[in-house]
Amino acid sequence: MSHARHDTKCTLHKSSLDYVRPDLRSGALIRMSLTQGYRCYTYLLLSMCYTPYRQPCSDSADNSRFHDIIMLANLRCSIGDTRLFRGLYRFIYTRNSDINQFVMDNTEIVSDNTLTPEIRLSLFTPKCRFWHARPDTWPFSDPYWAIYWPGGQALSRYLLDNPGVSRGKKVLDLGSGCGASAIAAKMCSASHVVANDIDSVAAVAIQLNCELNNLEPIPCVTDNLIGSEPEHWDLILLGDMFYDEDLADSLHTWLKTCIRVHNTKVYIGDPGRAQFENHRIKSFVKLLAQYTLPESVREENYGLTSSTVWLYTPDV
């Protein structure tokens, strides 16, 4: 999947730059080009040219980035193709340092009001710009990494309360999101922790969250590992990964292989979602712990009041 994205970027890059004269590749001409008619398109092409020279981290850069998002959202409305919009946006903000800055600009550092106040995370809160914005103005794929899901909260709490579970172990946090469970395992002295999330923005957010907790960066793999030849993991962690039936089916099959081949232990955190409760996987789990969710988490996750940690023990 990452290859396909890369090809799209290259094609856009080449064809777009072919239409821009080299002497136009300067930020100074941008404002002059913002006239009616071709405004968005011209802006977009020129953004592509001058972005590499822009200085990150200052207030003006921040405003400029926000301005870019709005302009691109307008463009997206006029061309009506979300995929193209997101592809173009990603093309402009390809560098991890840009995405890092974007994550910092659009999240708030949170530690209170979760089950694991000892872990600090950059998350969406009502104070953040995109909390109230139209979903289609968000330039990346759905920001699951910007939420600390109730299943992940219970799993991370369980790891912190039972440090022997991950101490000295090789741990994979699959569907890591904000990285909290990987961080909890690392805090409990796991020998090797890898985070896995198919969203490349999550990988950037996880590094940022490691820094917030004074941890060395946790390697993050963005390939889809489900169905692949299983590596030797002592533990696989799954925080709130049972929100889709097809995903639950493929996890059930793949996890059984991991357990059969490497005797991996699989820990699941789930707040009682129907896709988990009604799945046949539920017949193969053993209750380890249950936590009442903090009030603010209950409010944000209507209908959920507690979250449970399970050990997956299928017949293999």
> What angle do helix axes 39-50 and 2-18 make, rounded to 10 degrees?
110
Q: Which residue is nearest to ligand SAM (CB)?
A: 152
CB of 255 to ligand SAM, least distance (A): 12
The span from the CA of 73 to the CA of 249, in Å, is 36
Q: Which residues, numbered 226-265, are part of the site for ligand SAM (CB under 6 A)? A: 226, 239-241, 243, 247
Q: How many residues bind ligand SAM (CB under 6 A)?
A: 25
Q: In whole angstroms, how large is the CA radius of gyration of the chain? A: 22
H or E element at residue 46:
helix 39-50
Tell me if 178 contacts ligand SAM by CB under 6 A.
yes
Q: Decide: helix, strand or coil at residue 65.
A: helix
Contacts of 250 (CB under 8 A, 6+ apart): 226, 227
Applying CB under 6 A, the span of 65-73, 140-148, 163-171, 299-307 interacting with ligand SAM comes to 140-148
> DSSP H helical segments within 188-288, as ranges?
200-212, 245-262, 274-277
Tell me if 198 contacts ligand SAM by CB under 6 A.
yes
CB of 240 to ligand SAM, least distance (A): 4
Applying CB under 6 A, the span of 130-138, 157-165, 169-177, 305-313 interacting with ligand SAM comes to 169-177
Burial, 70: exposed, middle or buried (Cβ in 10 Å; 0-12, 13-18, 19+)? exposed
**Cα dihedral value 265, 271, 277, 280, nearest 10:** -20
| Contact indicator for 71, 40 with CB cutoff of 8 Å | yes
* Binds ligand SAM by CB under 6 A, chosen from 85, 106, 175, 285: 175
Cα atoms in the 13 Å half-sphere on the side-chain side of 27: 8
User: Which tokens belong to 242?
Assistant: 């049972």
Q: Which residue's entry shows tokens 């920001």?
A: 143
CB of 306 to ligand SAM, least distance (A): 15
Tell me if 148 contacts ligand SAM by CB under 6 A.
yes
* Binds ligand SAM by CB under 6 A, chosen from 224, 257, 275, 301: 224
CB of 288 to ligand SAM, least distance (A): 16
CB of 36 to ligand SAM, least distance (A): 40
Applying CB under 6 A, the span of 79-87, 108-116, 173-181, 206-214 interacting with ligand SAM comes to 173-181
CB of 103 to ligand SAM, least distance (A): 13
> DSSP H helical segments within 30-136, as ranges?
30-33, 39-50, 59-79, 82-92, 96-105
* Binds ligand SAM by CB under 6 A, chosen from 149, 233, 267, 291: 149
| Contact indicator for 247, 276 with CB cutoff of 8 Å | no
* Binds ligand SAM by CB under 6 A, chosen from 93, 102, 145, 291: 145
CB of 135 to ligand SAM, least distance (A): 16
* Nearest alpha carbon to residue 162 among 147, 175, 149, 181: 181
Q: Which is nearer to ligand SAM, 75 or 248 (CB)?
A: 248
Which is it for the CA torsion 122, 99, 205, 250, positive or negative? positive
Q: Which is nearer to ligand SAM, 51 or 139 (CB)?
A: 139
Work out the number of other CB atoms within 10 angstroms of the CB of residue 289. Answer: 15
Tell me if 199 contacts ligand SAM by CB under 6 A.
yes
* Binds ligand SAM by CB under 6 A, chosen from 174, 183, 188, 255: 174
The residues of the shown chain that bind ligand SAM, judged by CB under 6 A, are: 144-145, 148-149, 151-152, 174-178, 180-181, 196-199, 202, 224, 226, 239-241, 243, 247
